[in-house]
Amino acid sequence: MLRGPDARLRFVNVLMIAVLLPILGQLVRLQVLERSRRLPEVEELLQRPYTLPAPPPGIVMDAHGELLVGNVPIYKVGAEISRGGGISVVGNVTRTRQVAEELAPLLNRDSEELFQALSVPPDAGGRVWRPLAAAVPADVGEQLMQLRSERWGWLTLEMEWQRYYAEGDLASHTLGFVTERDKDGQQGGFGVQGYYVRLLSPLPVVGRGEVDAYQVPLAEALALGELRAYPGTDLVLTLDRTIQAFVEGELDWAMQEYRAQGGTILVLNPRTGAILAAASRPAYVPYEFGLYPESEYPLFQDPVVSSSYEPGSVFKVLTVAAAVDAGGVGPNWSYHDSGYLEYGGVPIRNSDHRAHGQQNLQGLLDSSLNVGAATLTTRVLGAESFYRYMRAFGFGQKTGVDLVGESTGILHFPESEFWSDSSLATNSFGQGIAVTPVQLMTAVSALANRGTMMVPYVVAERRYPDGRLAVTTPRPLGTPITPETADYLAELMEKSVAHRLTRAQVPGYRIAGKTGTSQIPIPGGYHPVDVITSFVGFGPMPDPEVLILVKIDRPGIERHLRWGTQTAAPTFSRVAERLFVLMGIPPSEAWAGP
Amino acid sequence: MSVLWRQTTHGVQRRPETASRTTAKLILMGALVAGLLAAAFLALTTSTVRLSGEIWAAHHEMARIQRANSLLEAEIARLSSIPVLQERSRALGYERAGTLDFIEMGAP
């Protein structure tokens, strides 16, 4: 039909154009006209999400850089099995049994259980993933990786970081723990780790891009280094592990010696607010928090910041400080102690039920006179002034310490419906008021630090993964009293220890302190027998470097010995004596010899 | 410059055709440039892929080193932990110090 080469050439040309035109048209349609609609489909086809290997969470160290909480890699082991040649994956029944027997000692599991896990039921179709073991140690994980690359390609290994508590359950309340992420990606926790959970936890780095046949991402973001996995921020605490271990040992001794049900010892630097040691009993094992039943979850709360209690007579130093600072009383002030005072319809008696005659401030503190303290609030200060000082001392408010679960304590002000006239009298000696140990310590630190309270803190440094270093600067929380008032109160407290509280003394060191014995409120009144004994003290005077609170809950010794002077004061003395040595603090006075 | 020629193919006299050498050169150059660009793009893509692979491998290597480092840190901490040190000290015959007395030294 087609004659001549020209005609045939034209025909071929037309044919080629006819073939190419639809292709070109399709290209224009897909690439230009329907680009926006087609792009997601194409991305879905070509791009895959990928995750960079998980970097470790931040570690926690003590003040000298000793590791307290680190990380160890663990593995979640599974098998991706498929039906092939019968019921099993891995080949056949005999082969599966061999694999199960080989895996059993590595995973510390029964071989029969593993055989069942590796076997595919007849009704299952396609590929199935079976978990084989969780929290497999790193060395076994490495062995399994080797086996996977050599023989067992069906084995799946997912690396996770597990927290490692280098000192066991030391400082468990302060260190706390972090829970796993919930379905919304949120994490919670307790202690300092719970407080700094966002800093400690690295964020999973997820990218999306093209991957090759081995699922290795080809994404530009990876090549350009835009995706980087940063580990968590490391924390350096103010705690000293040696002091912490010693303090915990002393608390355990006191618990045993006084047959107590619980207790707390808190050591703080009053100049900076740095917490040097914080021990509470009963404690828990932080790396086994998942094993505790729900009924024992209250154990996870740190009593130092979460548990409030009636401080009792320890509180009198603050009442006296307020009265002195307000200008109502001074060295020349005195009152007649008849052993009894009625205010707001409530009778107030001294703890020894005795009258002490003419007393000054020194006598009030030495004999811990309830009537004297109530006299100060009801006749000298008045409600407005007293509660203004209590607010200034931080009661009823959080201190801002960097630990999870801080409570505000309970202090009813005159405008509160729970306040009554009698509160002004009972609050003066620490009754009808609830404080946390850290709150009380912060308030008393004003007496030891020339009138200034510092914000208590446990994290001294934050070491960011990009190399930045953030050192915590001590911050003043407030100045509730003048330096002169603070010095005067410290002098009164020092004399009190020197003359009356001999059990709290530390040979060679000048100590200021005050005991407390408080009843435990129960519905309808106070517990008839149980008490909380405490001692708060600082030293060495005149330039105190440590402030210590010893609190012993419900000592079970003879009733006539359940006093702060009999229990908390000697414990304070033991703690302070060794602490001064550990901290290299020289004695206040020259050694007189044995 | 254009050239006119007559061509005889398989004995068939063809009409004179006009062709431009410049056009031909331009087409050739265009093809060459396109080829070079394609080659450069391919080289770039290959390089990106290779680089991505290397970075991916480096990430895994870094993760492996981090794991090894964390394990070593944990082991050092275990060996220097207070209970281990106490046990070791006791084994060496050390005992907890009793009362420590400070001796006041005179000024030099």
Residue for token pair 């006009």: B18
Judged by CB atoms closer than 8 Å, whether chains meet at B48 and A223 is answered as yes
Neighbours of B96 (CB within 10 A): 8
Q: Which of B61, B81, B101 to probe by mutation at the A interface, max A CB count within 10 Å?
A: B81
Closest CA to A432 of A258, A540, A309: A309
Kindly give, in sequence order, each residue whose CB lies less than 8 Å from that of residue A429, ignoring residues fewer than 6 positions away.
A312, A313, A315, A316, A319, A368, A370, A373, A374
Cα A352 to its chain centre, rounded Å, is: 40
Judged by CB atoms closer than 8 Å, whether chains meet at A66 and B80 is answered as yes
Query: Angle at Cα A141 formed by Cα B64 and Cα A66, nearest 5°?
Result: 60
Alpha carbon distance A75, A53 (integer Å): 13
Strands (E), A411-555: 453-454, 459-463, 469-471, 476-478, 512-522, 525-539, 546-553
Chain B residues with CB under 8 Å of A217 CB are 52, 56
Provide the greatest CA pair distance for chain A.
142
A545, two tokens: 């470097």
CA of B102, closest CA in chain A: separation in Å? 7
Q: A512 phi and psi, to 5 degrees?
A: -115, 140
Alpha carbon distance A168, A349 (integer Å): 47
Kindly give, in sequence order, each residue whose CB lies less than 8 Å from that of residue A271, ignoring residues fewer than 6 positions away.
A449, A454, A474, A545
Q: Which residue of A has its CA nearest to B63?
A: A53
Kindly give, in sequence order, each residue whose CB lies less than 8 Å from that of residue A361, ignoring residues fewer than 6 positions away.
A320, A324, A329, A330, A331, A333, A492
B79, two tokens: 């060996």
Alpha carbon distance A319, A411 (integer Å): 14
Judged by CB atoms closer than 8 Å, whether chains meet at A167 and B76 is answered as no
Alpha carbon distance A447, B100 (integer Å): 29
Alpha carbon distance A204, A215 (integer Å): 18
DSSP A435: B
Q: Which of B41, B59, B72 to probe by mutation at the A interface, max A CB count within 10 Å?
A: B59
In DSSP notation, A198-262 reads: HHHSPPP-EEEEEB-TTS-B--HHHHTT----PPPPEEEES--HHHHHHHHHHHHHHHHHTT-SE
A385, two tokens: 């002034």
Judged by CB atoms closer than 8 Å, whether chains meet at B48 and A218 is answered as yes
Alpha carbon distance A314, A312 (integer Å): 6
Judged by CB atoms closer than 8 Å, whether chains meet at B82 and A167 is answered as yes
H/E stretch holding A127 reads strand A127-137
Helices vs strands, H then E, count in chain A: 19, 20
Domain ranges of chain B: 3-91
Task: Yes or no: say if A56 and B66 are a contact pair by the CB < 8 Å rule.
Answer: yes
Give the ipTM.
Answer: 0.78
Q: In order along chain A (594 residues), what is the average pLDDT of each group of 10 residues?
A: 76 90 93 88 80 89 96 92 54 77 91 84 71 91 90 87 94 93 80 95 81 73 75 96 96 96 96 97 92 91 95 96 93 94 92 93 95 95 96 96 95 91 94 96 97 97 94 96 97 94 92 94 88 95 95 91 92 95 82 47
Judged by CB atoms closer than 8 Å, whether chains meet at B63 and A586 is answered as no
Residue A145 in contact with partner chain B when CB distance is under 8 A: no
H/E stretch holding B85 reads helix B82-91
Query: Angle at Cα A308 formed by Cα A305 and Cα A311, nearest 5°?
Result: 115
Chain A residues with CB under 8 Å of B67 CB are 73, 138, 159
Judged by CB atoms closer than 8 Å, whether chains meet at B102 and A241 is answered as no
- Domains for chain A: give ranges and CATH numbers: 50-111+118-233 (3.90.1310.10), 241-291+301-582 (3.40.710.10)
pLDDT value of position A429: 95
Name residue A476's beta-bridge partners. A454
- Number of Cβ pairs < 8 A linking chain A and chain B: 86
Q: Is the pTM of this model over 0.80?
A: yes
CA of A517, closest CA in chain B: separation in Å? 30
Q: Which of A67, A70, A229 sits opposite B59 (nearest CB)?
A: A229
State which amino acid sits at residue A168.
G
pLDDT value of position B18: 57
Q: In order along chain B (108 residues), what is the average pLDDT of each group of 10 residues?
A: 51 60 86 95 87 84 91 94 92 78 64
- Residue A55 preceded by cis peptide, ω within 30: no
